[in-house]
């Protein structure tokens, strides 16, 4: 999976800091001191990609339902998923198990589908769609 952005998060932005001018007075100067921010963002996305890959492996081996992928890809935990779908945490935890996920009611499937912005059929059939932020990037107009 690729990072959800093609360019640095800070592209086009500059930092502002103080510098001493030739007269010895402090003056504001802009710079490009964003390198540390870009490095940290790249490292964070690599970790997220590892977690997504691990979720995909669990699903392929039958140890987790596709809900695990969608939660991981959208950086959500059980508590947050439960809150957004109006369910108890223990219920979401059960739905991570393929046996229980396969027995979900249409209403429960619909709640998850709405949350992760996929179709109920995608969820029922275990189709893994790109995360929402990837799909939004693809829908944005390109400026060349």
User: Is residue 1 very low, low, confident or very high in pLDDT (cuts 50, 70, 90)?
Assistant: very low
Cα–Cα distance measured from residue 40 to residue 119, given in angstroms and rounded to the nearest whole number: 34
pLDDT digits (tens, 9 = 90+) for 52-69: 999 999 999 999 999 999
Sequence ranges of the domains in the chain: 37-137
For CA atoms 124, 47, 138, 74, the dihedral sign is: positive
Say which DSSP state 126 is in: T
CB 10 within 8 Å of CB 37 = yes
CA-based nearest residue to 38, from 9, 3, 1, 4: 9
pTM, to two decimals: 0.69
- Kindly report the CATH class assigned to 37-137: mainly alpha
Mean pLDDT for 104-130 is 94
């Amino acid at each position: 999976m690729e990072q959800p952005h093609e360019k640095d998060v800070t592209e086009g932005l500059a930092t502002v800091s103080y510098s001493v001018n030739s007269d010895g007075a402090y003056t504001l100067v802009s710079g490009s001191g964003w390198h540390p921010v870009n490095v940290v963002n790249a490292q964070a996305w690599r970790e997220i990609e590892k977690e997504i890959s691990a979720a995909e492996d669990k699903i392929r081996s039958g140890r987790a339902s596709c809900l695990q992928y969608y939660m991981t890809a959208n950086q959500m935990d059980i508590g947050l998923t439960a809150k957004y779908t109006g369910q108890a945490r223990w219920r979401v935890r059960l739905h991570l198990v393929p046996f229980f996920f396969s027995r979900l009611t249409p209403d429960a499937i619909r709640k998850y589908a709405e949350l992760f912005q996929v179709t109920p059929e995608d969820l029922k059939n275990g189709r893994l769609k790109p995360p929402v932020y990837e799909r939004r990037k693809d829908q944005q107009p390109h400026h060349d």
